[in-house]
């Protein structure tokens, strides 16, 4: 069955380490869309830092943001899908982070809120170009369910807290890592894979008509859902093992290679 929808992760997949979209990837995406194939960006980023990439590519399809917690049409209308974290659980995560000296990002109403601007805020913003809004005491500030929460910390601490909190919140929250320094939290059942399924169903498509391309552990659910799940070569071994195919790295235009091979049917 032909691929009619392509979902592409942004960081370390679509964009290079210099945070730009290679011309080869732009060209392949444009050719696929010219053939009627829908192209969707699926990312852990918030809408604010996702939209510029969609605009650069000329995409009009909805965007999957916050690891699937939000599916937003390209216009300024209401979300197609929005799954928030229950307020009581969100406050627990923020309180724990503060008690353990971990930097916490809270994503609420399309903005990112933090206790203060510090080295972790600057590190995160350097990649995402996202503006942080300091509020002094994040726990006191949050009075409604956020879309996502995120700890930014050293790599060793991130893995420690992922393991601990994944077990502690099993059956209540999704806890995962998208980058070595991040521990992310979304509502139970939220994932890129679940969002991709929801979007495909809105389009009347089956999983066999979907291709997904990604690099990290938060991409695995969409690689498993898609009829063709593709990992870039720079993905961890465990992620590559879950993919149907491995393409070139983000630095070697792996997205273009995958589209040329499986959608445009060009010889490699």
DSSP per-residue string spanning 143-197 = -S--SEEEEE--HHHHHHHHHHHHHHTTTTEEEE-SSTTEEEEEETT--HHHHHH
137 annotated active-site: no
List of residues 6+ apart from 219 with CB closer than 8 A: 9, 13, 42, 192, 212, 231, 235, 239
Q: What angle do CA 225, 229, 231 make, to 5 degrees?
A: 135
Does this model's pTM top 0.75?
Answer: yes
For position 20, what pLDDT does the model report? 97
The domain 5-82+191-262: what is its CATH number?
Answer: 3.40.50.1000
Q: What is the mean pLDDT of residues 212-226?
A: 96
Q: Taking residues 231-256, what's their average pLDDT? A: 97
Q: What is the CATH number of domain 87-187?
A: 3.30.1240.10
**Residue 129: what pLDDT?**
85
Which of the following is catalytic: 9, 12, 115, 215?
9
On average, the pLDDT of the chain sits at 95
Report the share of the chain in percent with pLDDT over 90. Answer: 91
Neighbours of 72 (CB within 10 A): 22
Query: What secondary structure letter does DSSP report for 131?
Result: P
Alpha-carbon span 159 to 149, nearest angstrom: 16
Query: With bands split at pLDDT 50, 70 and 90, how would you rate the model's confidence at 77?
Result: confident
What average pLDDT does this structure show over 214-229?
96
| Per-residue pLDDT band at 267 (split at 50, 70, 90) | low
Tell me: pLDDT of 205 over 90: yes
Helix (H) or strand (E) holding 127: helix 119-128
| H or E segment and range at residue 230 | strand 228-232
Domain definitions of the chain by residue range: 5-82+191-262, 87-187
Owner of token pair 């032909």: 2
CA-to-CA distance for 171 and 47, rounded, in angstroms? 27
Task: Decide whether 5-82+191-262 matches 87-187 in CATH topology.
Answer: no
């Amino acid at each position: 069955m032909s691929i009619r929808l392509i979902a592409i992760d942004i960081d370390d997949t679509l964009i290079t380490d210099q945070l730009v979209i290679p011309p080869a990837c732009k060209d392949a995406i444009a050719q696929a869309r010219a053939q009627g194939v829908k192209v969707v960006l699926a990312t852990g980023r918030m809408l604010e830092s996702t939209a510029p990439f969609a605009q650069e590519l000329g995409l009009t399809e909805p965007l999957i943001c916050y690891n699937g917690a939000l599916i937003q049409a390209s216009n300024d209308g209401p979300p197609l899908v929005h799954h928030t974290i229950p307020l009581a659980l969100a406050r627990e995560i923020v309180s724990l982070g503060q008690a353990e000296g971990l930097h916490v990002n809270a994503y609420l109403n399309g903005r990112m809120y933090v206790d203060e601007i510090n080295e972790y805020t600057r590190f995160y913003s350097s990649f995402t170009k996202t503006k942080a809004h300091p509020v002094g005491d994040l726990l006191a500030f949050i009075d409604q369910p956020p879309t996502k929460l995120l700890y930014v910390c050293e790599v060793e601490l991130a893995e420690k807290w992922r393991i601990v909190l994944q077990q502690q919140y099993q059956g209540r929250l999704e806890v995962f890592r998208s980058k070595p320094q991040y521990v992310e939290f979304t509502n139970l059942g939220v994932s890129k894979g679940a969002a991709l399924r929801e979007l495909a169903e809105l389009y009347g498509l089956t999983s066999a008509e979907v291709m997904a391309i990604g690099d990290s552990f938060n991409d695995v659910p969409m690689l498993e859902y898609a009829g063709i799940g593709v990992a870039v070569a720079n993905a961890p071994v465990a992620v590559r093992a879950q993919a149907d195919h491995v393409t070139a790295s983000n630095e070697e235009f792996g997205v273009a290679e995958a589209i040329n091979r499986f959608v445009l049917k060009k010889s490699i």
